[in-house]
Structure 1
Amino acid sequence: MKLSKIAEILNSKTGKLPDVDIQWLLTDSRSLSFPAETLFFALKTARNDGHKYISELYRQNTRYFVVSELPVDADKMHDAVFFQVENTLSALQILASAHRDLFSIPVIGITGSNGKTVVKEWLYQLLNEDFRIVRSPKSYNSQIGVPLSVWSLNENAELGIFEAGISQMHEMEKLQAVIRPTIGVFTNIGNAHQEGFNGMKQKVDEKVKLFRDAEVLIYNSDEKLIEISIIQAKLKAKLFSWGKKENAKLQVLRMETNSTTKIELRYKKQEFSLEIPFTDDASIENALQCICVLLYFDYSPKIIAQKLLKLEPVAMRLEVKEGMNGCQIINDTYNSDLNSLGIALDFLNRQSSRQELSRTLILSDILQSGFVSDELYSMVAELAQSKNIQKIIGVGSEISKQSDKFSIDEKYFFHDTEELLKSPLMREFKNEIILLKGSRSFHFEDVLARLELIVHETTLDVNINALVSNLNYFRSKLRPETRMMCMVKAFAYGSGSVEVARVLQNNRCDYLAVAVGDEGAELRREGIRVPILVMNPEKSAFDTIFHNKLEPEIYSFGLLKSFIASAEKLALTDYPIHIKIDTGMHRLGFEQKDVAELIELLKNQNQVKVRSVFSHLVGSDSAEFDEFTHTQLRIFTECADKITEAFSHKILRHILNSAGIERFPEFQFDMVRLGIGLYDVSALSEVKLETVCTLKTIILQIRDVKAGDTVGYNRKGKLTQDSRIGVIPIGYADGFNRHLSNGVGEVWVNGHRAKVVGNICMDISMIDLTDIPAEEGDTVEVFGNNITLQELAEKLDTIPYEILTSVSRRVKRVYFLD
């Protein structure tokens, strides 16, 4: 949205505005990614004031701000634009509402006490093959999160799915004005955030306001309070109810639960059954909400049945983990209220019914319940008793005061989490299923860490924050109009193509590049919509390319003629292709002498249309090849100029790779290609990029071995002294190169380098832990912050690309945000 339009919407008087299109709204200065296209809202909250971060954002090249007061040093920010408003949060919501006006697509709005995020994510899983969907990230359902979510609507979107959460009166009408759902889903009602309302009825009435202008509203008619509020609101929406009563539009006839849940239903006088891969009440309820949405979209029961079986759990609540001493842990520390406690206890019941495990509840104070303490914990005690809890551990001052309410024989109470962690009780859990249910402020993740079984596995940890930071470093070298193509071939250099592609797409990468058609097809299946270049398009893959709207690199006359013929058979015109020029790599590409003939061939057909012309630099990372690099750049410029001048449409030009972006930015042309630079490899010695990939394992076993003995195959690891030898579960089949055997390679253990002893085996390796403080189960870094990719590459006389792409797919990739 143009700055001038934003000024008009916010009714903020400013001087002459630059012709800038704002793409990003920012409320948290730590999340800045694209300063040139960002509008920062200086929000004032009870804990913070965004105005104090303006100067730092300005130093990071942010120039556009919405403020309620001008910063004291505003006169020093000569090119900054300040939209001054009375309330910056209201301005954020007004702007997002105006953005919502631009789209006439169906929008699903979801509210309720629990299940909003699960329903949203499941609807995405069920519908993403058929719609291009924009949805709330994570649980962005607040007064701030909703406008940020809705702002992500774009011209490609075919469906929006947004959550709305409230904690007090008069909040929902503000969210309604931003989301304006055409399809409403009311999940359920419970006690969460009850303190902001005079009663449950008032809270339900407030939530119903989200659906004021909806075309249809989906809800559980068995929840009487919800149905009464909906009827009293006299909404214009069609009511799509589900429940056990005969007058429900979707009637639940019977349910049968074993390892899955079979639900028998009646809809429009037709009876059918559906199966979901879940058994707990919460999941069944969430699935029924989703089934109603699909029925409203006219999906047949047969198609719905197929889709439901593909549902996957949303990693957010009720997460089951293996614990020490035969225990299982249900981790539900997302929130804590009476309603969600009941659902979690029901889940615990179902989990334990198939196992010989006693039932334990570790529960913190329940905050913001809306009940007085005496009444609240009487209900908690009754609930725990009804769910056959055999041991309760209460943490917090309020629950401790109410300990006499619990008639359970085995009960323990602690004033805070630290006191629990110091208790001998933490060492006594055995053969129990433990529900860990606590408000976030109690930091029950520390309890989980003590109870959880250490998983013996090797992982490649991929730091998404670091990936985005490195992307933005290279972006900072470019003109604002220069486009970015990112390489995700070879499993995104071993880091996971789908996951990395999603991050790059979300961070407005203009193009992705893969090696072969199948790689591109996989990305399309996973919902990647940005243009994708196929760099090695085999003739056998043409159908895959056409079907998935991939764009091939064309490097020879034979390939071009074959592709044109294939496009002609399908009656395609102007299909985008990318012309490769050989400027010195002598691998693939048209030579300079071929350009005239190439232009003539391209002009005499209309099946394909040149989208870009490009080439590869041979040695852009090394000063010794600079003269040759300049020769390549000259040849490319001459060839590209002839091709672009021969056609009236815009043809992109690109030749710079990661090293080229850093060392030859004056030749960025229209686009650049970023590959290894994403993974913290820089051509400039003074630049320290952030580490993205860390290959980690653990110590399986430590043994003492006498001097003179040998370790490993062929007795290669002969010891010259008494040694402590550690065994780690990683070998050459995982990507730990065998040439690092016999002391060539090192790993990082507890702040020390440990040499590899003997030959690296297929699945196992041995390391020297003599004089290193280490225990079985300790973490071992194979490469990462301490043993760098560059260091390993030098030892192996290879390049970082090979190190990354050698990590086997059997090594689990773990993606995380700092």
Structure 2
Amino acid sequence: MSDIRSLAAPRSARLPSVEIDRTALAGNWQRLAALAPGARTGAAVKANGYGLGAPEVARTLYEAGCRDFFVAWAEEGALVRQALTAPDARIMVLQGLDTDAAALCREATLLPVLSTPDDIAIWREAGLGSPPAPAFLQLETGMNRLGLDEADARAAADLVRAGALSVSCVMSHLASADEASEQSRDQRAVFERLSTLFPGVPRSLANSAGVLLGPDFHYDLTRPGIALYGGTCDALEGLRPVATLTASVLQVRTARRGEAAGYGAAAPLRRDTRIATVGLGYADGFLRAGSGAGVATWPGRPAPTAFLANRAVPILGRVSMDLTLLDITDLAEDAVGPGDRAEFYGRNVPIEQVAAAAGTIPYELLTGLGPRVAREWG
């Protein structure tokens, strides 16, 4: 079954879209690379390039100078390999190694990240000869997610010394790098100790927030993700928003004081109110939790807003599956009409602010973008 983007008919201008700033994406990677001049700077392009389209994200970053790309599944890696045929582009698969995935890694020249003894056994069996096919190795350093514990790491080191396993890089993942936490230093200490089992092998520890922790965390390869996409612009000067989500005004109407707007009459109107109904909803990835009223909230959340006619305007009532209401009463009467575009995050509405209003993180907003949302590269 075709999705809405693959139909032969022209795409309606009223459908929601996300404009992707290619220059900002490349510039963000270059900014992060400049912070770790002694390391290679890779890029996480998993989850379809954080929702923006992994092949085009990868091509853009390759042109900017990136050569190391991380995906979650081998199937994702094969799509990125179709976009990056250059032999110096390395594509690492972070999870899910089974015999089928191992075969696909061999076929598409992907490097699996081995995190369990079973992963190692499957990859050795798929190696089909000598020398063994290279792979990354992931160590457990305190996150208790994926990775080899000390005993399994020592067994892997024995295989490397025996020439039965080829390791291109040892890595681990920081759990709390974006918080003021001792855990990152504790993880680094464990990583230092376990990685000495693999002398001379390159090392990788830093994600986006880890890059900002300084040279002690950079090692030989960094792996930024959300920072590339502008999801942490407030954390580092020079990062720019990459994705701008907009949707079209479908109708403008005036409702009277004492009436209510949206599902559940969640927004009682205390004045005559002009309402712009916009064609964007939670089916498109704009979360219901970011409603203006009528959903569970928490102390201190930012007031949910959109940007329309050069002003921030409140989101009114509940976000529904396909529609969101905006209160435009304070705009000039002729300022907004059907077909005008409202921005829900991007250049004028920081995605961090929108995520905070919905009680979530920018990652979820980007990776949750639905298939009706056109990805428009600029």
Does TM, scored on the shorter chain, surpass 0.5?
Answer: yes
Are positions 1:456 and 2:14 aligned together?
Answer: yes
CA deviation after TM superposition for structure 1 residue 454, in Å: 8.7
CA-atom RMSD, angstroms?
2.1
1:362-373 map, 5 Å: none
Aligned to 1:516: 73
The 8 Å contact of residues 124 and 132 in structure 2, kept in 1 or not, is answered as no
Are positions 1:723 and 2:281 aligned together?
Answer: no
Counterpart amino acid of residue 501 in structure 1: A
* Percent pairwise identity: 29
The 8 Å contact of residues 662 and 684 in structure 1, kept in 2 or not, is answered as no
The 8 Å contact of residues 617 and 629 in structure 1, kept in 2 or not, is answered as yes
Aligned to 2:97: 538
TM-score by length of 1: 0.42
CA deviation after TM superposition for structure 1 residue 664, in Å: 2.1
The 8 Å contact of residues 745 and 756 in structure 1, kept in 2 or not, is answered as yes
Counterpart-to-counterpart distance in 2, 1:681 and 1:783: 11
CA distance 1:731–1:684, change in 2 (3 Å): closer
CA distance 1:517–1:454, change in 2 (3 Å): closer
Counterpart-to-counterpart distance in 1, 2:307 and 2:271: 21
CA deviation after TM superposition for structure 1 residue 592, in Å: 2.6
Q: 2:241 aligns with which of 691, 695, 720?
A: 691
Q: 2:142 aligns with which of 569, 584, 592?
A: 584
Q: 1:770 aligns with which of 329, 339, 344?
A: 329
Aligned to 2:59: 502
CA deviation after TM superposition for structure 1 residue 683, in Å: 8.1
The 8 Å contact of residues 709 and 718 in structure 1, kept in 2 or not, is answered as yes
SS at structure 2 position matched to 1:476? helix
Divergent runs of 4+, >6 A: none
CA deviation after TM superposition for structure 1 residue 804, in Å: 0.9
CA distance 1:521–1:454, change in 2 (3 Å): closer
CA deviation after TM superposition for structure 1 residue 639, in Å: 1.3
Are positions 1:473 and 2:51 aligned together?
Answer: no
CA deviation after TM superposition for structure 1 residue 574, in Å: 2.5
1:156-171 map, 5 Å: none
TM-score by length of 2: 0.88
CA deviation after TM superposition for structure 1 residue 781, in Å: 0.4
CA deviation after TM superposition for structure 1 residue 605, in Å: 4.9
The 8 Å contact of residues 728 and 765 in structure 1, kept in 2 or not, is answered as yes
Deviations 1:766-795 (A, max 9, x none): 111112132222220000122211111212
CA deviation after TM superposition for structure 1 residue 686, in Å: 6.0
SS at structure 2 position matched to 1:643? coil
CA distance 1:758–1:550, change in 2 (3 Å): same
Counterpart amino acid of residue 781 in structure 1: E
Deviations 1:46-74 (A, max 9, x none): xxxxxxxxxxxxxxxxxxxxxxxxxxxxx
Q: 1:746 aligns with which of 284, 288, 305?
A: 305
CA deviation after TM superposition for structure 1 residue 584, in Å: 0.7
The 8 Å contact of residues 592 and 635 in structure 1, kept in 2 or not, is answered as no
Aligned to 2:178: 621
Counterpart-to-counterpart distance in 2, 1:683 and 1:664: 18
SS at structure 1 position matched to 2:42? strand
Aligned length: 355
Counterpart-to-counterpart distance in 1, 2:85 and 2:44: 14
Counterpart-to-counterpart distance in 1, 2:358 and 2:290: 7
CA distance 1:683–1:695, change in 2 (3 Å): closer
Counterpart amino acid of residue 112 in structure 2: P
Q: 1:659 aligns with which of 186, 205, 209?
A: 209
Which structure dedicates a bigger proportion of its chain to helix? 1
The 8 Å contact of residues 280 and 324 in structure 2, kept in 1 or not, is answered as yes
SS at structure 1 position matched to 2:284? coil
CA distance 1:681–1:763, change in 2 (3 Å): closer
Aligned to 2:119: 559
Counterpart-to-counterpart distance in 2, 1:698 and 1:464: 23
1:269-668 map, 5 Å: 455-479=13-37, 481-529=38-86, 530-539=89-98, 540-568=100-128, 571=129, 573-606=131-164, 608-623=165-180, 625=181, 627-644=182-199, 651-668=201-218
Are positions 1:760 and 2:319 aligned together?
Answer: yes
Counterpart-to-counterpart distance in 1, 2:321 and 2:359: 21
CA distance 1:683–1:725, change in 2 (3 Å): closer
CA deviation after TM superposition for structure 1 residue 681, in Å: 3.6
Counterpart amino acid of residue 692 in structure 1: V
CA deviation after TM superposition for structure 1 residue 750, in Å: 1.5
SS at structure 1 position matched to 2:353? helix
The 8 Å contact of residues 704 and 722 in structure 1, kept in 2 or not, is answered as yes
The 8 Å contact of residues 283 and 370 in structure 2, kept in 1 or not, is answered as yes
Aligned to 1:786: 348
Counterpart-to-counterpart distance in 2, 1:668 and 1:596: 24
Counterpart-to-counterpart distance in 2, 1:520 and 1:503: 16
CA distance 1:704–1:683, change in 2 (3 Å): closer
Q: 1:732 aligns with which of 282, 300, 323?
A: 282
Deviations 1:326-358 (A, max 9, x none): xxxxxxxxxxxxxxxxxxxxxxxxxxxxxxxxx
Q: Point out where structure 1 has 5 or more consecutive residues left out of the alignment.
A: 1-321, 323-452, 645-649
